[in-house]
Amino acid sequence: MTTVEKVPATSYQQFMPADRPVQYLAPDGTGVDSAARYAHPSNERLLEMYRSMVHGRRFDQQATALTKQGRLAVYPSSRGQEACQIAAALCLGEQDWMFPTYRDSMALAARGVDQVELLGMLAGYWHCGYDPTSYKVAPQCTPLATQLLHATGFAYAEAKQGRDTIALAFCGDGATSEGDFHEALNFAAVFRAPVIFLVQNNGFAISVPLARQSAAPSLSHKGVGYGIGSEQVDGNDPIAMMAVMDEAVKYVRAGKGPVVVEAHTYRMDAHTNADDATRYRKADEVEGWLARDPLSRLDSYLEAQGLLTDELREQMTVSADADAAALRAGMNVDQDVDPEDLFRFVYSSPTPGLTEQRNQVAAEIVAGELS
């Protein structure tokens, strides 16, 4: 059995959670005093971040509208979490992989996944909707925390084969209460798997508030317990998110082991379109988070720096609207669905039971056509 060198006991101390979430921008977009633990992203990258956030929010708005029109069965909005998802996507290299949850559609769009394909699963067209290998994005995962194990195993296998690949595993605060979360962190720590665990702490696991889930000083401290480099960051501060994620990527790629990043953020809309958020949170709480909107925050900063003009802002808005129009058109094209696909890709060779089910469905279809 091949042995793998373990992390020295003190190495995790190179990446310890700050006492308060790392922040570079105040809610109004002005700069704040910072210990400058992490390098400030360049102006060019911040403009790219802003452009991707404009597109991401427009995509989210369009997907929500498609749900109301009956084109999607369900859609979990991530409005308010743009900075978390897009900073994470933009900080990866082309060779790296993402392992997303059901709420990380903005990250997938920023990664370049075709938007129509991205929504294919939610529309019921296909099991995943896109080719994971083409985009280096695993299927969006609905069961809580299972993708963390997939990411860890994949990253470990890539490292064993000498490939320079990082796996970025997304999860929410609710997932940190699952056993899979702890198993993934422990395995990743022991075997130094090159994984970044990005915990988007948006305050609720559906309707369960964070205070009912954990008594830890922060969710990032859970990584410390496993000997993993960890940090907490203001997830609605685009500059802080990019700065921390840049450092996390650098740390993991240098072979120092995995990292846990907890991003403090908030989902502005309900858990999904089937959820009534007014039953478990108050309007003034939502209003308070609206004042910390990540998009307007970066907008104000870039404008104050002379980097964002009305003309450039309009260009980005028009481009995002064009993408939304293309998404609408694509989702309004009826897909040809082959019932055989329900059985074709379950096993490489169908089992007797699967064959029996396939034949039963085929017979029912024929009977329906003849009736």
Dist. CA 256–CA 245, nearest whole Å: 15
- The separation between the first and the last C-alpha atoms of the chain, rounded to the nearest angstrom, is 62
Residue 233 corresponds to which tokens in the numbers above? Answer: 């960051």
Dist. CA 239–CA 299, nearest whole Å: 11
Burial 11-50 (b: 16+ CB within 10 A, else e): ebeebebbeebbbbbebebeeeebeeebebbeeebbbbbb
Give the residue numbers marked as catalytic.
267, 271, 280
Dist. CA 117–CA 112, nearest whole Å: 11
What Cα–Cα distance (Å) separates residue 53 from each residue in 84, 120, 293, 369?
10, 22, 11, 48
Distance of CA 282 to the CA centre of its chain: 26
Q: Look-up: residue for tokens 């089992």?
A: 351
Dihedral (CA of 272, 341, 330, 115) sign? positive
Q: Look-up: residue for tokens 């006991």?
A: 9
The residues that bridge with 205 in the sheet, in sequence order, are: 208
Dist. CA 25–CA 239, nearest whole Å: 7
According to DSSP, residue 29 is labeled: S
Q: Which residues contact 351 (CB under 8 A, 6 or more apart)?
A: none
Q: Where are the beta strands (DSSP E) in 133-182?
A: 167-172
Dist. CA 195–CA 15, nearest whole Å: 14
